[in-house]
């Protein structure tokens, strides 16, 4: 496999995310790349497609780059510069388009490669790292940590989910606790189980402290 293009893609994302502190940073992408590789090896998926899609999955993210989001201009430009075939570019762009959580409108990717990347991205939203990212996101979007009066809403569709302003604790119920059951691969399901248990313990400790029980 061509290591040069992967190394170039790592450099490209390092530059793209250098000023982002909202949870969509370079290290998120690097973790997704490593986890997607680990899952792809277990699932016998094409490593080249998985690794490129993982590395490029957030470069045209709507929050980071609204003007290039629709056509994934940054990802496409990178891939064309590296002489990737138009067919493979389409496969990679389809994977990137399918990856995001959209409440009840979330999609199971068509290809095994897409399923590996989606699982890796979702695994990075849960567990110890997921907790840190949720509070970093909440802080950077001026969300409050918790308000017992604001109840979580589950089973939202894409539109409701995107337009909701909720607390960060509610985000655990509105998205993070749903991810385990949405994992596509058995490899990711196993990792998700352990990470979800950890988050559940964390939330239960949090709520006990909130209520003055501990
Ligand atoms: P993804 O990489 O899955 O597309 P998002 O862009 O939805 O992730 O979010 C980036 C990170 O911020 C994730 O860890 C996610 O759980 C967290 N996050 C997204 N929305 C919220 C929210 N409303 N409150 C707290 N954390 C959030
Ligand atoms: Ni991501």
pLDDT tens across 60-90, in order? 998 888 999 999 999 999 999 999 999 999 9
**Which numbered atom of ligand 1 lies nearest the CA of 125?**
14
Q: Give the residue-averaged pLDDT of 131-148.
A: 94
Please give the mean pLDDT across all residues of the chain.
Answer: 94
Q: Ligand 2 centroid to 30 CA: how many Å?
A: 10
Ligand 1 lining (C-beta closer than 6 Å) = 23-24, 100-101, 121, 125, 130, 133-134, 137-138, 143, 166, 168, 171, 175
Q: What is the pLDDT of residue 6?
A: 97
The span from the CA of 200 to the CA of 189, in Å, is 16
User: Which atom of ligand 1 approaches the CA of 24 most closely?
Assistant: 10
**Position 10 pLDDT exceeds 90:** yes
Query: The tokens of 145 are what?
Result: 């940590």
> Strand, helix or coil at 104?
strand
* pLDDT tens figures, 164-201: 888 999 999 999 999 999 999 999 999 999 999 999 99
Ligand 2 center–CA 213 separation, angstroms: 36
For residue 163, the model assigns a pLDDT of 81
The phi and psi torsions of 150 (rounded to 5 degrees) equal: -95, 110
Q: How far is the CA of 14 from the centre of ligand 2 (A)?
A: 14
Highest mean pLDDT among 63-72, 102-111, 124-133: 124-133
What is the pTM for the complete model shown? 0.94
**Residue 99: what pLDDT?**
94
C-alpha of 49 from chain center? 17
Closest ligand to the CA of 13: 2
Mean pLDDT throughout 14-43?
Answer: 90
Number of alpha carbons in the 13 Å side-chain half-sphere of residue 37: 11
Coil, helix or strand at residue 100: coil
* Close Cβ partners of 142 (under 8 Å, ≥ 6 residues apart): none
Which residue's CA is minimally distant from atom 18 of ligand 1? 134
């Amino acid at each position: 496999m061509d290591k040069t293009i992967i190394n170039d893609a790592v450099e490209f994302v390092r530059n793209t995310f250098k000023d982002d502190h909202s949870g969509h940073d370079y290290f998120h992408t690097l973790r997704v790349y490593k986890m997607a590789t680990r899952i792809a090896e277990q699932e016998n998926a094409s490593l080249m497609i998985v690794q490129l899609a993982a590395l490029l999955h957030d470069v045209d993210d709507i929050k980071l780059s609204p003007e290039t989001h629709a056509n994934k201009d940054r990802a496409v430009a990178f891939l064309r510069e590296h002489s990737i075939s138009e067919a493979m570019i389409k496969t990679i762009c389809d994977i990137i388009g399918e990856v995001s959580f959209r409440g009840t409108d979330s999609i199971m990717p068509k290809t095994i490669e897409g399923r590996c990347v989606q699982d890796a991205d979702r695994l990075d939203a849960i567990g110890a790292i997921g907790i840190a990212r949720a509070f970093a996101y909440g802080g950077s979007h001026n969300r409050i940590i918790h308000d017992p009066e604001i109840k979580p809403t589950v089973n939202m569709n894409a539109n409701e989910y995107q337009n909701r302003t909720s607390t960060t604790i509610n985000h655990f119920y509105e998205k993070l606790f749903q991810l385990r059951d949405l994992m596509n691969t058995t490899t990711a399901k196993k990792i998700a189980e352990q990470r979800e248990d950890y988050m559940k313990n964390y939330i239960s400790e949090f709520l006990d402290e909130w209520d003055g029980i501990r």
